Amino acid sequence: MAVSIKNSEEIEKMRIAGRLAANVLHMIEPHVVPGITTQQLNDICHDYIVNHQQSIPAPLNYRGFPRSICTSVNHVVCHGIPADKKLKTGDIINIDITVIKDKYHGDTSRMFMVGKPTIQGERLSRVAYECMKIGIEMVKPGIRLGDIGHAIQTHAEKNKFSIVREYCGHGIGNVFHEDPQVLHYGKPDTGLVLEPGMIFTIEPMLNLGKRHVKLLPDDWTVVTKDHSLSAQWEHTNLVTEDGFEVLTEHPDKPL
Ligand code: MF3
Ligand code: CO
Ligand code: CO
């Protein structure tokens, strides 16, 4: 499939959806404390998206996903299903928010440290953030997706962490997941050449141990095979005439 180039009306709608998704992550931050359950976090976000933002939580019923957000704790890599288990101090959690506003999607996720952080959890989360940032800052017309994947992989491996290969970033617009696939590993000077108007996520997943993952019997939850910690950050990004615009940036938290 060809990669879509968004026009200015679509880009404006993506800015709005992106800002709304960023606002949900900002809103939920003070709630991420020891003792809260991921189901409670889901319910707070669901109510905020539906009633305050008058938007749609994209995950709910997406290919049968049963909740409105993804919550991935400790060794969960991605697509964790909110449930009645309480967070405890030292846990690390990724909260992944996708909202639909006026048919367009904004997709962003970040790590939170629950209570007193561990050195390992904080380091893994920081390097995962750096990998996302390094990738985003390379975005401009003419650069290739392989260049970005290579830079992300290099930074992760330099820090002795591994990059998950089975899940990747994606084009996004009035469709949740569309072309291109944005791999977080790869070879320089390969892959799609970026053009202004393309919009895609960059969302590297880093493991403390080996890169391999397995899918739990619920058919959603992805965990590290060796049960080591995993961390992920995600933004939705626009290729501009001379660089990039992060559509899911929050004004209080510049990239
Ligand atoms: N938000 C995830 C992503 O970054 C996708 C979640 S799909 C779901 O692409 F069904 F699990 F919600
Ligand atoms: Co995504
Ligand atoms: Co996401």
In this prediction, residue 165 carries a pLDDT of 98
CA of 203 to the centre of ligand 2 (A): 7
| Nearest ligand to residue 57 Cα | 1
Distance (angstroms) between ligand 2 centre and the Cα of 98 equals 8
| 107 closest CA partner among 252, 251, 211, 248 | 248
Concatenated DSSP letters for 146-197?
HHHHHHHHHHHHHTT-EE--S--EEE-SSSSSEEEEE-SS--TT-SPBP-TT
Q: Answer whether 0.85 is exceeded by the pTM.
A: yes
Q: Specify whether the CB–CB gap between 252 and 25 falls below 8 A.
A: no
Phi, psi of 42 (to 5 degrees): -60, -45
Residue nearest to atom 12 of ligand 1 (CA): 59
Closest residue by Cα to atom 2, ligand 1, is 96
214 and 164 Cβ atoms separated by less than 8 Å: no
Q: Which residues contact 208 (CB under 8 A, 6 or more apart)?
A: 120, 124, 161, 224, 228, 229, 230
Cα separation, 188 vs 186, in Å, equals 7
pLDDT at res. 1? 74
* Residue 205 contacts residue 185 (beta carbons within 8 Å): no
Mutate to test the pocket of ligand 1, among 132, 176, 205, 233 (most ligand atoms within 8 A of CB): 176
Q: Tell me which residues have their CB closer than 6 angstroms to ligand 1.
A: 59, 62-63, 65, 70, 79, 96, 98, 107, 201, 203, 234
pLDDT below 70 — which residues of the chain? Answer: none
Structure token digits, residue 50: 């539906």
- The conformation of residue 234, written as its DSSP 8-state character, comes to B
For residue 93, the SS3 value is: strand
**Exposure string (b/e) for 152-166, b if CB count within 10 Å is 16 or more?**
bbebbeeeebbbbee
* Ligand 2 mean position, distance from CA 200 (Å): 8
Per-residue model confidence as pLDDT tens digits over 169-204: 999 999 999 999 999 999 999 999 999 999 999 999
Quote the ligand 2 centre to 232 CA distance (angstroms): 11
Q: Which ligand is nearest to the CA of 201?
A: 2
Q: In ligand 1, which atom is closest to the CA atom of 176? A: 9
Question: Considering only CA atoms, which residue is closest to atom 3 of ligand 1?
Answer: 107
Cα 241 to ligand 1 centre (Å): 29
Q: How far apart are CA 117 and CA 98, in angstroms?
A: 26
pLDDT of residue 147: 98
In sequence order, the β-bridge partners of residue 57 are: 99
Distance CA 50, CA 127 (A): 33
DSSP 139: -
Least Cα distance to 203 among 170, 243, 154 occurs for 170
Q: How far is the CA of 95 from the centre of ligand 3 (A)?
A: 8
Q: Among residues 202, 222, 208, 212, which one has the least CA distance to residue 152?
A: 202
